[in-house]
Amino acid sequence: MTRPFAHPAILAAMVVLSLPMLQASAQTKVPAAPAQTPASPAPPAQTSTTPMVSAPAPTAAPAFPKPDPANFTAASPTKQIVDAFLQASWGYDQNRIWQVQAILKTQVVDVSKVVVFVNDRSGKMKPSALEFFTLPDGKHIIAGDQIIPFGEHPYADYRAVLQQRADGPYRGAASKDLELVEFADFQCPHCKEAQANMDKLATDFPKARIVFQSDPIASIHPQAVRAASYGVCVDKLGGSSAFFQFASTVFQGQDGLVTPDGATLTLNSAVTKAGLDPAKVAACAATPETKATVDASIKLGTDLGIGSVPMLVINGREVPANAPYATLKQIVEYQAKLDGVTL
């Protein structure tokens, strides 16, 4: 669910520089490879009188045009750093290939323009160009209207922030070596859909620490902050196990959050199912301390530039939590490998 101030596009491809175009709700973060155009029109449909002739399979990955040394006028970043950045972002997809085509000075000191050609190994697509600007700090790029982490280890800073500040209820391992932090809103339908993915991740990655951080969007979900406050108190009074039972029940009964009275019934029912006293949880939810906890969770998302939910941050790498599960699993495995984590 996109925040009102966020970029209007809700497709999540740009989050990891390579996700397929998804009907997901995550905020655009990193440029996806531009849309690729088929090299030739599709052949006509076969009929009973049409010879069955198959196109020969390509024998090698397509070649890119040779880069012109005259197009490498900027001292920074180096081609090696750009390649390392793209490897960190795209390396999980073994079918994707690229070539750094230019690193150009601009009229702004220490701001460089990078051009990358992108293709796939099948040779079925024409090369496409990806462009972005690197900033003087060497840690960020501008792509479209987004500021995105950059460098040889682009996700390291966000990972460190989350290791220090992601304090929501968690399931799985106590270790933060592989930390998957879900930012979600109890009233967001996309977040409800993402819970199946989160349950599968918990099963497939028992060594991961999977954290839930409430990130309610009060302007469009009037009961989301209240639900988040109840969640804080369920965790406080009953622990993480009670919280995840509560969360599952709230998501299942999400339609009940539409009105204040419906929210009361839905939340109290979820608290009871989690084995706690609704009156005690409601009293806890109304305290300034609980409000401060919810506000801190929201601020953590803001500090990471998260503009939409559900968002999953995998050791600092942002991916829509409702992406196709096979893609999520592939990225978790790849990021763990990059970070030297044994699964």
Task: For residue 236, give the 3-state DSSP assignment.
Answer: helix
CA 341 to chain centroid, in Å, comes to 20
Sequence-separated (6 or more) residues with CB below 8 Å from residue 143:
14, 30, 31, 131, 132, 133
CA–CA dist 212, 214 (Å, integer): 6
Question: Which residue type occupies 95?
Answer: N
pLDDT of residue 57: 52
Which domains are delineated in the chain? 13-38+61-154 (no CATH), 157-338 (3.40.30.10)
CA–CA dist 69, 247 (Å, integer): 56
Sequence-separated (6 or more) residues with CB below 8 Å from residue 186:
214, 216, 221, 223, 224, 227, 228, 231, 247, 250, 251, 254, 257
Rg, C-alpha atoms of the chain: 23
Give the orientation angle of helix 189-204 with respect to helix 325-338, to 10 degrees. 50
pLDDT of residue 124: 79
**Could you tell me the CA-to-CA distances from 343 to 43, 226, 332 in Å, in that order?**
45, 37, 10
Element housing 112 (H / E): strand 112-120
pLDDT of the chain, 343 residues: tens digit per residue: 765 543 333 333 333 343 333 334 432 223 344 444 444 344 444 443 434 444 455 556 788 899 999 999 999 999 999 999 999 999 999 999 999 999 999 999 999 999 999 999 987 777 789 999 999 999 999 998 888 999 999 999 999 999 999 999 999 999 999 999 999 999 999 999 999 999 999 999 999 999 999 999 999 999 999 999 999 999 999 999 999 999 999 999 999 999 999 999 999 999 999 999 999 999 999 999 999 999 999 999 999 999 899 999 999 999 999 999 999 999 999 999 999 999 9
